Amino acid sequence: MTLTNNERRVLDALAEGDGDTDAEALARTTGLGRGPVEGAVELLAEKGYVNVDETAETLYKLTDEGRGYADDGLPERRLHDYLVENDDVTTDELRDVEGFEIGIGHLRRKGWAEMGATVEPNEASRGDDEEALEALASGENVDGVPETLVDRGLVEREEERTVNVRITDEGRESAEGDDRGTVGALTHDLLASGDWKDADLAEYNVEADAETTHGGREHILRQMANRVKEVMTDMGFQEMEGPHVDAEFYINDHLFMPQDHPARTHWDKFLVEEPQRIDELPDEAVENIRNVHREGAEGGDGYHSEWDRDVARTLNLRGHTTSLSMRYLAEGVEPPARYFSVDKVYRNDTLDPTHLLEFFQIEGWVMARDLSVRDLMGTFVEFYSHFGIEDIEFKPHYNPYTEPSFEIFGEHPETGEQIEIGNSGMFRREVVEPHGIDEDVEVMAWGLALERLLMLIYGFEDIRDVHGTLCDLELLREVPVLWN
Ligand SMILES: N[C@@H](Cc1ccccc1)C(=O)O
């Protein structure tokens, strides 16, 4: 049977001695404290290795004051002696005797003197209290110490528990037997000396109760982001990366959003104070974007409005990762191509159960010849099916940069409501033409909300449960990992 280190030490101490002792003695021989010894004894008793019986004894100990009186006599005894030795003692005279203040009350209570004009002594036989004081002073343990001594603070009472421990035959066998030397816990000494290498480690008791510990773990939002990256990669997409703070040129102008149009404040944006503008924009791209805004693309008319390079240079926290798609398209990508990102975007929204000021967007686009809306929808059906979501719906929508456009909806598993999970469409010629993309090449694109996907999968009703200062730690600790 496996013993803890302490049990082993106690059992060894018992086997080496005469096998019959008490916890206090064991504490001395093992060098363990009394508490650990008693703990080990209890465990050994459960295993049948020791028999334990407990006795309690009341011990009396003299206080310093009590010891003084044991030597010099109780104050009332000293007063009495003075009265016997002197005649016609007045109270005033008695006052000068040492211990008067304390002794006078006891002298009267014990009836050792009559108080009148003078104080006259009576017979004063030696009392139990005096006997007990003397006995205690000479180291005897006295039964029935008078309570008055305790009340007077001359004697202290202590309850002493004695835990008598006797080793059993099984205990002796174990102490001498094969499971000797089993190590119940790795100690600093074992590690430092290297002895752990040869140690015979005790079996682990998997049924023992243990404290709950909470180790660090990947946040479910991060888990989900990684899972999405896997799915997108499996679907043949390459990941995009780019700046969180970017020029409006990439966030808005590339998306054919007129500079003076309310669509530009589409989301109340976060401006950057320092620096306010990007240093440079590529001249050729600026020319192309300006032209498309003013004159339109093939088959379109443009806005014929002012287009200001400085407005395009203004820096924002990106409100969507479509800015990354624009940066990648601007690099000159050849069809077919598929790109995605799962990254933070920032919007000055009002916080509510489904809106945060920052969230993760799953951005993506496919560039190929002869793409249609069916491909776009099919891509979502496939993507969401990887997460067990089979019932997505589409709703016609408007974006300045896509035509046609669709919002994507999914059913919340708890509330049954249709919640918006993404926005998508086919990029307009005004978006792709500045990049020199051929007319028979289509680019379909989208932005999906990672947090909404999470809500559909786990059934959270308030996104703030998993994100930000209001998050529910218990839930985050306990939420199951749905895949790995
Ligand atoms: N930028 C859009 C998503 C989108 C991207 C690309 C095409 C269409 C829509 C949004 O944030 O809602």
Q: What is the pLDDT of residue 179?
A: 57
* 3-state DSSP assignment of residue 296: coil
What are 20-26's contacts with CB under 8 Å, separation 24+? 20/164, 20/165, 20/166, 20/167, 21/164, 21/165, 22/162, 22/163, 22/164, 22/165, 23/162, 23/163, 23/165, 24/162, 24/163, 26/165
Residue 475's pLDDT band, with cuts at 50, 70 and 90, is confident
Tell me how far the alpha carbon of residue 446 lies from the centroid of ligand 1, in angstroms: 5
pLDDT tens figures, 320-378: 999 999 999 999 999 999 999 999 999 888 878 878 888 999 999 999 999 999 999 99
How crowded is residue 284: how many other Cβ atoms within 10 Å of its Cβ?
Answer: 10
Here the tokens at position 284 are 């050729």
Q: How is residue 294 annotated by DSSP? A: H
Rounded alpha-carbon distances, angstroms, from residue 28 to 6, 32, 107, 162, 351? 13, 7, 47, 14, 65
> d(Cα 346, Cα 266) in Å, to the nearest integer?
12
Q: How is residue 355 annotated by DSSP? A: B
pLDDT of 266 strictly over 70: no
Residue 484's pLDDT band, with cuts at 50, 70 and 90, is very low
Residue pair 464/471 in contact (Cβ under 8 Å)? The answer is yes
Q: What is the residue with the minimal CA distance to atom 11 of ligand 1?
A: 320
* 3-state DSSP assignment of residue 160: strand
Pocket test for ligand 1, best of 257, 365, 375, 399 (most atoms within 8 A of CB): 399
Tell me how far the alpha carbon of residue 447 lies from the centroid of ligand 1, in angstroms: 4
> d(Cα 29, Cα 255) in Å, to the nearest integer?
84
Q: Is the peptide bond before 396 cis (omega within 30 degrees of 0)?
A: no
Q: What is the pLDDT of residue 267?
A: 64
pLDDT tens figures, 59-81: 889 999 999 999 999 999 999 99
Q: What is the residue with the minimal CA distance to atom 9 of ligand 1?
A: 424
Tell me how far the alpha carbon of residue 409 lies from the centroid of ligand 1, in angstroms: 14
Q: What is the residue with the minimal CA distance to atom 2 of ligand 1?
A: 447
> d(Cα 21, Cα 14) in Å, to the nearest integer?
7
pLDDT of 240 strictly over 70: yes
CATH of 5-57+159-201 given 1.20.950.20, 2.30.130.10, 1.10.10.10, 3.30.70.100: 1.10.10.10
> d(Cα 305, Cα 230) in Å, to the nearest integer?
43
Q: Where are the domains of the chain?
A: 5-57+159-201, 64-153, 221-478
pLDDT of 132 strictly over 80: yes
pLDDT tens figures, 383-428: 999 999 999 999 999 999 999 999 999 999 999 999 999 999 999 9
* 3-state DSSP assignment of residue 229: helix
> d(Cα 348, Cα 298) in Å, to the nearest integer?
35
Q: What is the pLDDT of residue 3?
A: 79
Tell me how far the alpha carbon of residue 307 lies from the centroid of ligand 1, in angstroms: 23
| Residue bearing tokens 């390459």 | 238
pLDDT tens figures, 178-210: 555 667 778 888 899 988 888 878 777 788 777
Residues with CB under 6 A from ligand 1: 320, 322, 399, 402, 423-425, 445-447
Does the domain made of 221-478 have the CATH classification 3.40.190.10? no
Q: Is the peptide bond before 275 cis (omega within 30 degrees of 0)?
A: yes
339 strand-pairing partners: 238, 365
